[in-house]
Structure 1
Amino acid sequence: MRHQSLAGTALLFLSLLQTGCGSSGGTSSATVTTPAQQTPSQPQTPQLSIKVPTAANSWVEGNSKETESIIQTNGIRNWRRSSDTIVTYLRLGKTGELELALNAKVLSGTSALEVSLGGVSKKVELSNTALQQVYVGKFSVSKPGYQKIVLRGISASAEVFADINDIFIGGSAVGSDSYFIKDEFYWGRRGPSVHLNYPSPTNAAVEYFYSELTVPAGQDVIGSYYMANGFGQGYFGIQVNSASERRVLFSVWSPYETDDPSKIPPEDRVQLLRKGPEVQTGEFGNEGSGGQSYLVYPWRADNTYKFLLKAKPGDNNSTDYSAWFYAPEQASWRLIASFRRPKTQTWLTHHHAFLENFIPEAGQFSREAQYGNGWIRTAAGEWLPLQQASFSYDDTAKRQSRWDYQGGVKNGRFYLKNGGFFDDFTTYGSKFSREATAAPVLDLTQLP
């Protein structure tokens, strides 16, 4: 429901090419021979049957740039540096024994890898040049929830450590309550989108929607969109596009349903009425289509920003939507844009907020947003607080591909959290309430 740029493309990165070398670590160590190295007198290692694709469930730890280079659509590739640690996540519903094997190969010679879980490390040597299941060993799972499998490169004869397509799992800790991303790799790697849905406290026509949004320190992760004012026909919030760029984003969907804006008939196109200084406008696609506007603005974590949205149905079977943004650094309201949506006669409906990540390589990081002091104003001029909210999530969570989703009340504000593979998830449909605060003091006639 949000777009990273007008073209909707993700950031592209280049990896540094260096020969991998390093040293191992961990609390225990065991050298494992591959099946190709075994003699007839050695016992056969077990063949595990449950396959965890590395393409969907692995990241270069803490590094989105290297993740895009190394984690490819067919698995781990181009892994050259010992400083690039690979992490793979899966969720287990019970404790017990977890057995691991790598579906891997080397390009030539021999590679040594370290595989760790729960503070225990095992060393495995690879010399097979065709993909095969290479047994690593058994690990103890002491608590259910997300498990973090860590791969480190120790040494390699070739330029890369290994190609690893999958991690195979088995053992008493694995069962029907074991979860990982099996399909929809792109959406699964992005992680679950989470939502707060505000029931309207009135049946009267709603003209304005006001809210305040705070991103806590350290939670302003690249690839995050913190949507403050959602409504039935669009959304309004802030996002982190890169290390050097942040935006205020306001979009309105066309009534014509398509992911390709070029296919929208002229009579169904969202029309720009006006925009604020320095605001960029255009069209968006890929997740519905319509009119988009954004202001490049260096908003900061821990600062509270204000959002005001207006809807006004016209008498020509259209509705005008306007969005204003208040930055404490400038102590003034700024117009983002006003759009006219054709074939629409409505006041503001479906008041909501959401939080999402739009860069798959950043799905390994947690992000949080706090939503405070939400209000609506009726067309008759009455301000009413939004004190209730219910929690929901998207199809990624419904498919049980990811379980790192959360919402609730914190410090008198509603909050949302996702990504990073934490264990304490919130049940779909959970309801929250907060204390009412002071109504916004606004001179609506003086808005730019």
Structure 2
Amino acid sequence: MKIKFPPLFLVLLAFSTACMASDLEKDGPVSEFSNYIAIPLGGNVYQTKGSQKEEIKEDGLVTWQNPESEFSVFFKSSLATEAVLELYLLPQAAPSRIVVELNGKSQELSLKSGDSGLIRIGKVSLSAGYNEVKFRGMQKSGSDFAKIKALRVGFEGELELDFVKDNIDGRFYWGRRGPSVHLSYTAPTNANFKWFYNEMTIPEGEDPIGSYFMANGFAEGYFGIQVNSPTERRILFSVWSPFATDNPNAIPEDQKIKLLKKGEGVYTGEFGNEGSGGQSYLKYSWKSGTTYRFLNSVEPDGKGNTIYTAYFFAPEVGEWMLIASFLRPKTDTWYKRPHSFLENFIPESGRIARRVIYDNQWMADAQGNWVELTEAKFTGDDIARRGYRKDFAGGSDAGKFYLKNGGFFNQSTDLQSMHQRPANGKKPEVDFVKLK
């Protein structure tokens, strides 16, 4: 998914973000340390407790009204070292007391009316790997405990910190969502493939709200399952239009995705903001710990168009369910770029880990001749590639492929690395004649 902004907005946003970082880095020290790194809260803070949702914006934590609200800032340190923490406050309207905690050790701060800029918290011991700074409110006489723009870390010597450093191209938003990761399966190039088959299992307890576990990707779209709310889950299948736009209303009629058929209870329509095209989904209460099967086809119709069809097999149903079939105009292709990915589409859930297991990948030509896929390349999005977030992993484990992201864990997998699983020879059992 990708958000597009007007060019002038991007220029102003980049300038203001760069200025903020520069000002915080050079602002006068309030401790004995000579080196400083500023961590903007706009892309690095999460509300971890409290039923009232506080506001986290580009300027940081801009409301903190509820005594039950708690917050955490995460950053990764290249080594264990002594440091000093400072807060960069937006103007304090009234006195308050707050507690700042790092890795289990806390310090209480008394804030006065008119306080702003850098406020010393105290000396701390950073851990090598991810560190968590927590904020809790103790007492306030105004509407907010505090409004905080940034956290600043002072140190001596060499130290690298990984965090979301800037808001260029909306990176505060993408960074709080967490790094998206992908597996691109190696397929033979000497055949025209129509079908791709994959099996997917989400381990119990690793399916937080906002997760999209994408099983069957192709060059023009994707097919997988989502966690949309505490009570709603979906099977989602989408195909991009050949007309490049984020506004579905701008697509010319001769380049719109056409619905050919859909399964019972399946919603179909258009989508935007991440490219545009045809979308379908079935509300279905899939369960973690259960293995689901995905099958989809890509086939040219011989008239300059291509037909995309998706089927979902749930063991509790016991048969292949049609999700939808779309026609993509001005396209003449077979199945290209079989892949899977894992993403979180709700920024508030970016601090929670999620994991998915993929197994038994196969492709088949139009005659049903199957080929097993046992190799995949692991890649990540812009946030992962820049090292702004390093809580991502993927590859092969226990004879199966997997992806993991979120939760600020320390062990990451090298991007662009190749991974293999052992071949098992278990061809998919699909009766193509009976598919609806």
TM alignment of 1:232-243, pairs within 5 A: 232-243=219-230
- Residue 115 (structure 1) aligned with residue 100 (structure 2): yes
Using the TM superposition, give the Cα deviation of residue 49 of structure 1 relative to its aligned residue in structure 2, in angstroms.
4.3
Q: Determine the C-alpha separation between the residues in 2 that align with 1:430 and 1:308.
A: 26
Q: TM-score, normalised by structure 2?
A: 0.89
Residues 43-91 of structure 1 show CA distances to partners (whole Å, capped at 9, x for unaligned) of 964587432111210001267x75x533233221331333322100111
- Name the aligned partner's letter for residue 281 of structure 1: T
SS in 2 for 1:94: coil
1:166 maps to which of 135, 150, 160 = 150
Q: Determine the C-alpha separation between the residues in 2 that align with 1:69 and 1:342.
A: 45
| Aligned residue in 1 for 2:288 | 301
State how many pairs are aligned: 405
| Aligned residue in 1 for 2:135 | 151
Q: Which moved more, 1:123-132 or 1:200-209?
A: 123-132
Q: Determine the C-alpha separation between the residues in 1 that align with 2:432 and 2:405.
A: 35
| Aligned residue in 2 for 1:34 | none
Q: Determine the C-alpha separation between the residues in 2 that align with 1:180 and 1:308.
A: 38
Using the TM superposition, give the Cα deviation of residue 324 of structure 1 relative to its aligned residue in structure 2, in angstroms.
0.4
Identical counterparts, % of pairs: 44
- Name the aligned partner's letter for residue 431 of structure 2: D
Residues 1:45 and 1:435: Cα distance change in structure 2 (over 3 Å): closer
TM alignment of 1:46-445, pairs within 5 A: 49-61=36-48, 66=52, 69-104=54-89, 107-141=92-126, 143-172=127-156, 175=159, 177-183=160-166, 184-437=171-424, 438-445=426-433
User: Contact 2:385–2:415 (CA<8 Å) still a contact in 1?
Assistant: no
Residues 1:428 and 1:325: Cα distance change in structure 2 (over 3 Å): same
Q: Determine the C-alpha separation between the residues in 1 that align with 2:152 and 2:302.
A: 62
User: Contact 2:60–2:149 (CA<8 Å) still a contact in 1?
Assistant: yes
SS in 2 for 1:90: strand
Q: TM-score, normalised by structure 1?
A: 0.86
User: Contact 1:105–1:127 (CA<8 Å) still a contact in 2?
Assistant: no
Q: Which moved more, 1:164-173 or 1:325-334?
A: 164-173
Q: Determine the C-alpha separation between the residues in 1 that align with 2:404 and 2:348.
A: 17
Structure 2 unaligned blocks of 5 or more:
4-28
Q: Which moved more, 1:117-126 or 1:299-308?
A: 117-126
- Name the aligned partner's letter for residue 222 of structure 1: I
Using the TM superposition, give the Cα deviation of residue 202 of structure 1 relative to its aligned residue in structure 2, in angstroms.
4.8
- Name the aligned partner's letter for residue 239 of structure 1: Q
Q: Determine the C-alpha separation between the residues in 1 that align with 2:203 and 2:73.
A: 27
| Aligned residue in 1 for 2:21 | none
Residues 287-318 of structure 1 show CA distances to partners (whole Å, capped at 9, x for unaligned) of 11111000010101001111100112111100
Using the TM superposition, give the Cα deviation of residue 389 of structure 1 relative to its aligned residue in structure 2, in angstroms.
0.9
Structure 1 unaligned blocks of 5 or more:
4-42
SS in 1 for 2:54: helix
SS in 2 for 1:87: strand
User: Contact 2:260–2:325 (CA<8 Å) still a contact in 1?
Assistant: yes
SS in 2 for 1:361: helix
Q: Determine the C-alpha separation between the residues in 2 that align with 1:404 and 1:108.
A: 37
Using the TM superposition, give the Cα deviation of residue 386 of structure 1 relative to its aligned residue in structure 2, in angstroms.
1.2
- Residue 447 (structure 1) aligned with residue 435 (structure 2): yes
Residues 31-51 of structure 1 show CA distances to partners (whole Å, capped at 9, x for unaligned) of xxxxxxxxxxxx964587432
Using the TM superposition, give the Cα deviation of residue 411 of structure 1 relative to its aligned residue in structure 2, in angstroms.
3.1
